[in-house]
Each structure stands twice: as C-alpha cells, then as structure tokens.
A and B are shown apart, each in its own frame.
Chain A
C-alpha cells in the first residue's frame, strides 16, 4: 500500500504543486515521497494522522532496521474542490490497458504540451497540438492512429476531439502501468472536459482535464460547434422531450449520426450537473466555456473571444461566416464549402463579423 501511495503522490505531483490529502500546504508532502525506490526498499508502514489542535498532519514511516521517520507538517484548511463531471453522460468512452496509451504517449516529445485525441467510428487518433501556427514549423508533429479493436471497450457517440495537456496524462499513465490498471477515457464534444480514470479494489483515481475548443478542421463532421446554430429547431426533431438548450452536450450532435448517438445525446438535461460557465481548471489554465443557455448572439460573442485567444488566425472569419449564415437547412450543404473556404480569405456568409487578421 505504501508504494501505491508514494506513486500516487508522484503521479499527482506531475499535475500540480499542491496536493490534496485533507488539505495540505504547498510543496511539503512531495519531498517525503521523493524517492519511490527508497520507499519501496525500506518503508514497511506509513501512518498518517492529523492533529487539529496544533494544525499539524503527521506522516510516520516505519522503516527497515527499526528506524522510524516522523514528519510533522503544517497545513492550512481550504475549501474542497471537486470536479463535477458526469462520466455516465459522456458519449465517447474508451477503455484500454495502460500499456496501449503509454505506448502512444511515449512517441510524443517530452516538451509536447498538448495533444488532440480525436475519435470516429473507424479510428482513434492522437496528434500533437500547437497553439501558434509557428510552432508547427519548429517542432516535430506526431500523429498516431489506433484501430477501435485495440481498445477493450470502444464507444463513439459523437465524432469529436479533445485537446488537453499531455503532462497530466503521463502522470496517470505511469501510475496505471505500474499497477496494471486499465484506463478509462470519457469525453464528449470539444470544449467539454475529458476524464481519465483507473480503479481497482482499493483505489480509484480520476483525472479530469479541461479541453480546448477547436475551430473547424479538415473533417467536416468535426465542426460540431457550428452545429449549435440549428439547435433550437432541430432539437425537437431529434428528441421529443423538451430539452432546454442549457445542456451543451445535447447541442453538439453531428447531423450525420445514427439513432444510437442521438439517444445518447438526448439525456434530459436536468441530470446534467454542469452549471453555467463551470470551469474545470487544468494546470495550463486552458479556458473552457459552456454556452449553456446562450442564444445565437451571445454564442457568437463568446466564440469571438475564444477565437481571439486561441485560434490560428486563418480560422476566425471562416467560422463566423458559417455560423452567421442562415440556419439549419443550409448548413449541411455548406460544410464542404467551409472546408474549401479555409484556404481563402473569402467568407461564405460574411455579415461583418470577420475578425481582422
């Protein structure tokens, strides 16, 4: 158990500086577990207790040769943070042995900050993500595709992609691999968090990461944000239940999906526990937003802010053009032109929301 705990602390340390264990002061616990190898070799037992009167938490290690190491650390109380993420509502679920994901992740350079995981019924793709266009030129761009059969469990509810920080995932994967625990991945539309989790009889570890909102890419079915436009009209066609727009996951349905996906998406939103604008922080501070109950104008406004922050400039006008064009019917047929339009400066439905380059 002790080595498990030590490794857990190590895995968590790759995510942030502060560790959560009945609240603790920053930077004080990790050094105690600095050398996992030493701990495995020499520590028999670790006892953790809290002395509320003195504001101390005590870690006591009983080690080989009768040696006892006692650490009394100061702590400060703070509010408990818990990511509220209903994994059971995620349309996309993958489960695999940790080695599969480790083998994939190991091919990315250690300096790679973010990767994009994209899913479709025929494959799962992992690709380097670069925020600035220039980074493309300077770094190695890695892309890997994995066949759905490689996964122990594969469910794709909506063709989607999730762009998140790789560092946090590496921590969890090395932990999972050491203990031979299969890793479950839950995610939905771009912008929604992605969760990586492992569990066994004695423990459960969940890492919830925020994801970036990606603009239109080459694959038309990926343009799920654009699809939000037709929601007010389409939703009643797809899903008879009166589902308010508040649930973002409902909004992001590709028109090309079959009945299965539609069912998944139509879970009534009162079960959705994502309140408006909830932010699930990652160490990179990637902004995440949920358009929730915004109607079209607000949607555009938010998109613009988002794009200003994140997107390669060439994409801005393209996206707005598509969104501001006439609703619903035109969308599907306009998708191919969106893709073409990305190569030009012209905007299909330019109504003045073009963002200056």
Chain B
C-alpha cells in the first residue's frame, strides 16, 4: 500500500477515527505500559485497549474508554492490529512533549482497516505533522483467566505508600514475594537480596488501606524483572488494587487520572514464579 498516495478524503474511508484535543491523554497512559516494543490494539465501541506481553508470563493493558476522546467513530464491531509502541509514542510526542500549560498537541488517529497503516494527524501551534505507522497482524493474547469469582485476596491501597516501597525495593532480589492474609502480617512485600532480606508490612487498618478483603493466607513470588515495569503505572496512579486468585496469579489494577481529571485504567497480570504452599 503506497503510503504517499493515500487520499485523505475525510472520515468516509476510515473505519476508526479517534480525536483528542490533548494527545497526552493517550501518550501518558501508554507510557505506563511501554516496556516492550510491540503493542496490540483492540478497539471496540467501548474504547481502546492496548496490550503488551512479556515472556508469556506478564500482560499489561491500558484502557482508554470512548468518552475520553473528543471524537470516537468505529465502523466495525471490533478492530485489532499491532504496532510498534515505541514508534507510536515518539510520534505522539513529536512536538517535544512539553508541559507548557495551554499548549497541547491535538491528535486525530485514523485507521483504514487490515493492511493499512495507523495514521496520526498531530497539530500544535498551527504546525501539522502526519505520521503513518505500519501495522501488523495482531498476535494472540494470553488469556490469564482471571475472574473476580476466583479472587481469594484483594486489597486497594493508595498509591503513594506503595510508590515509596517500590522505589526502595532491593533490586538484587530476583523475586518479589507477596503475602496476603486475614491475620498478621496482612499485606507484606518481601525481597531476598544479596545482603539479606527485607519486608514491608501494611496493616489492614492503615489509613493507606482503602479496602482489605483477604480470605486466606497466601504467599506467592513473582519475578522482579517482570514486575519492575509496573512501577511506571504505579507512578501515574492514585490508587491500586492488588488481587490474587487461587492459583497465585496476580492482578494489579491502577486508577490513573489524566490531565483533564478523567479516569483511565491500567492493569498488569503476572504468573507466580514458583508454587508456594498456601497456609490455611
């Protein structure tokens, strides 16, 4: 498909048109999951879901619902494609990504369907840039089969307290161990590094703890290298929900507010590193 001869005849040809007055409302949240190059876009009438996976053990999703966009038109039920997320972010921030108040990059994102590139029209201060990013066939996504009915333990924490813990984590530890329990230590993050181990305990009645629903004592370990990227999402978020299910799979859900105060979600799913016996 020769890109330069694509005619731009308004919205008629595109099966997806999504517009934002402030491109940061998309780029910021995508940065929270940008630890790998290839991202899979899944677009429905509800909005945009962008997914990144790592080693078949970790999946990160960013949800930008339709009402975040100033314009959101989808001519099919579902549209899916894969793009290089690093390139996409470079384009979204092509005007430098400055945070001067009142100066925004406007975005119009268009897609013509299978085989066509993702076209971005970006404008700032009267200057227009057109970017066409090649798309690929979307890879199949892992279904972590994590559903609320299987959730054994769930807490919701204010992000600030976790941010501090994550910034102090001993990175020489290969794993991050998570203990959740209806009794002491309630919610504990542990590391096992070169010089020793460390434990961060959050009591269930801490004022950082917004919700505490733990039914049984569970201890699971997750590869530190897989969870490290989640700190980007944590940094953007104001709240985080931590859930584990009977298999020890971990779900982290981050509530992110964009520049205009609208809410978006980022979630991470992670497989446990090894089986650790749950204690009743």
Report which A residues bind B (CB closer than 8 A).
25, 27-28, 31, 34-35, 38, 42, 56, 65-74
Contacts and interface: CB of A to CB of B under 8 A. Distances in A.
Interface in B166-185: 168, 170
7 contacts: A66-B205, A66-B206, A67-B200, A69-B168, A70-B198, A70-B200, A71-B199
Contacts of B199: 68-71
Contacts of A70: 198-201
B208 interface: yes
A66 B188 CA distance: 12
A66 B195 contact: no
A28 B194 CA distance: 9
A25 B194 CA distance: 10
Contacts of B278: none
Contacts of B196: 28, 56, 71-74
Contacts of A66: 202-203, 205-208
Interface string B203-224: 1011110000000000000000
Nearest to A29: B195
Given A31-B170, A66-B207, A42 B195 contact: no
Contacts of B46: none
Contacts of A69: 165, 168, 198-201
B164 A27 contact: no
B207 A28 contact: no
B161 interface: yes
Nearest to B198: A71
Contacts, number: 56
A62 B172 CA distance: 24
B197 interface: yes
A73 B196 CA distance: 4
B195 A65 contact: no
B165 to A, nearest CB: 8
Contacts of B161: 65, 67
Nearest to A38: B164
Given A25-B195, A28-B195, A38-B164, A67 B170 contact: no
Contacts of A38: 164
A42 B170 CA distance: 19
Shortest beta-carbon contacts, A-B, top 7: A28-B195, A73-B196, A66-B206, A68-B201, A66-B203, A70-B199, A65-B208
Given A42-B164, A67-B161, A72-B197, 5 more contacts: A27-B195, A67-B200, A69-B165, A71-B197, A71-B199
B256 to A, nearest CB: 22
Contacts of A28: 194-196
Contacts of B194: 28
A285 B187 CA distance: 48
Contacts of A67: 161, 165, 200-203, 206, 208
Contacts of B205: 66
Residue of B168, B170, B202, B208 most packed against chain A (CB within 10 A): B168
Contacts of A25: 195
A73 B161 CA distance: 23
Contacts of A68: 199-201, 203
A42 B196 CA distance: 23
Chain A CB within 10 Å, residue with most, of B164, B203, B208? B164
A67 B161 CA distance: 9
Interface string B87-124: 00000000000000000000000000000000000000
A237 B114 CA distance: 104
B154 to A, nearest CB: 19
Nearest to A42: B164
A34 B195 contact: no
B198 A65 contact: no
A56 B194 CA distance: 13
Nearest to B206: A66
Contacts of A34: 168
B193 to A, nearest CB: 9
B180 to A, nearest CB: 15
A235 B203 CA distance: 72
A69 B194 CA distance: 18
Q: B161, B164, B195, B206: which has the most chain A beta carbons within 10 Å?
A: B195
Contacts of A72: 196-198
A73 B199 CA distance: 12
Nearest to A34: B168
